[in-house]
Amino acid sequence: MSEHLPKDHPPVKPPKVGVLLLNLGTPDATDYWSMRRYLKEFLSDARVIETPRIIWWFILNLIVLTFRPKKSGAAYDKIWDYEAKDSPLRVIARSQAEKLQARMGDAALVDFAMRYGNPSTESRLKAMQAAGCDRILLVPLYPQYSAPTTATANDKAFDILKTMRWQPAVRTAPPYFDDPVYVAALAESISSGIAALDFEPDVVITSYHGMPESYLQKGDPYHCQCVKTTRLTREKLGWDKDKLIVSFQSRFGPEEWLKPYTDVTLETLPEKGIKKVAILAPAFSVDCLETLEELAMEGKDSFETHGGTHYAYIPCLNDSPAGMDVIESVVRRELMGWI
């Protein structure tokens, strides 16, 4: 075909299908200014913080960004992968992309991007287009849909598409909170995680990232999808209702968030005679600050301080064979008709 093009015609790549795995994001380092840049981008997103913009601008710039970068940086220091000189989230996300590429072979070009921070969604979408991808599947790696996660990841991609003269065709993968492959992987991770312990938990907690209750009232389906994920996993395990329970973590600010709160749950379980627990975070596809520091470290300290005797954190699916089975299953299903 190239011999029929004008001499000054831009190069035309052979058409390809692209798969872009999208995750929340991570700072580039743990110092104050790296944390401030990351937090400013994250907390300036109107999908994340729905407070009126003028009010929130003053709160964010005069209060939050003055004090929170140092505190968050200290938390990231605890979980930073100093061998890889990077955050665990980016290390694992890169591995997920590499492993999915190996599974997909020549059928699709696979890459990963962050909604906030690097590698940016813009840089990876443009790189895919430059590589010849005329069809791209966006895969927000959030099993349960919510506006502050799935929607904003897609928003960012759409904003970039608006700047492209020659847009690729784009699909967005739906949430997979009730996908049988995902539920089976969760159930197996719980079973194998417990089998590796030297104690039998009285209760296993599925801790989901929280959100303000007002978001639920406005129609966000996240809460219902979280509850359904746990119910299906419980049924897959064949457990009673009280053995696998739901809680919500990471609340921020004075507003009421989804309940029950994970931190309050961990504080009150020992006084009810429940002193052995295991906990996991099904809403996260990759271990990160909220799992490795908030749950595995802070959660353990709080539970034991309030009388708990045994505590274990069960890792996310990450780039494990089961975790990759989930991602591959979603991707191959959503690429039907393209490959």
pLDDT digits (tens, 9 = 90+) for 243-282: 999 999 999 888 999 999 999 999 999 999 999 999 999 9
Q: What is the pLDDT of residues 59-106, one digit of tens each?
A: 999 999 999 999 999 999 999 999 999 999 999 999 999 999 999 999
Q: Residues 226, 230, 236, 240: what is their CA dihedral angle, to the nearest 10 degrees?
A: -150
Q: Which backbone phi and psi does 144 adopt, to 5 degrees?
A: -105, 135
pLDDT given for residue 13 in this prediction = 79
* Residue corresponding to tokens 């049924």: 235
**pLDDT of 196 strictly over 90:** yes
Percent of the chain clearing pLDDT 70 (strictly above): 99
Nearest to 320 by CA among 26, 25, 24, 99: 99
The mean pLDDT value for 221-232 works out to: 98
Average pLDDT over residues 281-303: 98
Max CA pair span of the chain:
79
Q: Looking up tokens 């919510």, which residue turns up?
A: 146
Please give the pLDDT value at position 199: 98
| Structure confidence at residue 2 (pLDDT) | 55
Question: How far is 155 from 169, CA to CA, in rounded Å?
Answer: 15
Structure token digits, residue 148 = 């502050």
Q: Given pLDDT bands bounded at 50, 70 and 90, which one contains residue 3?
A: low
Residue 189: predicted pLDDT: 98
State the angle between helix axes of 180-195 and 321-334 in degrees (0 to 180), rounded to the nearest 10: 180
CA 129 – CA 272 distance, rounded (Å): 57
**Edge-to-edge strand order for the sheet containing 133-140?**
109-117, 16-26, 133-140, 169-172
User: What stretches of 114-270 show up as alpha helix (H) in DSSP?
Assistant: 121-130, 152-161, 180-195, 213-217, 222-237, 262-268
The DSSP output letter for 29 is: S
Residue whose token pair is 């927000």:
140
| Residue range 4-34, pLDDT digits in tens | 767 777 777 789 999 999 999 999 999 999 9
45-49, 101-105, 180-184: segment of lowest average pLDDT:
45-49
SS3 218: coil
Nearest to 320 by CA among 95, 130, 169: 95
- The dihedral built from the CA positions of residue 66, 292, 266 and 285, taken in this order, carries a sign that is positive
Residue 120 CB-density burial (10 A; 0-12 exposed, 13-18 middle, 19+ buried): middle
Q: Which residues are 278's β-sheet partners?
A: 204, 312
Predicted TM-score of the model (pTM): 0.94
Amino acid identity at 96: Q
What is d(CA 53, CA 68) in angstroms, rounded to the nearest whole number? 19
What percent of the chain is predicted at pLDDT more than 90? 95
Q: Which domains does the chain have, with CATH numbers?
A: 16-176+322-334 (3.40.50.1400), 180-313 (3.40.50.1400)
Contact 277, 266 (CB under 8 A): yes
Average pLDDT score, the chain: 96
325: buried, middle or exposed (CB in 10 Å: 19+, 13-18, 0-12)?
middle
Does 1 have pLDDT greater than 60? Answer: no
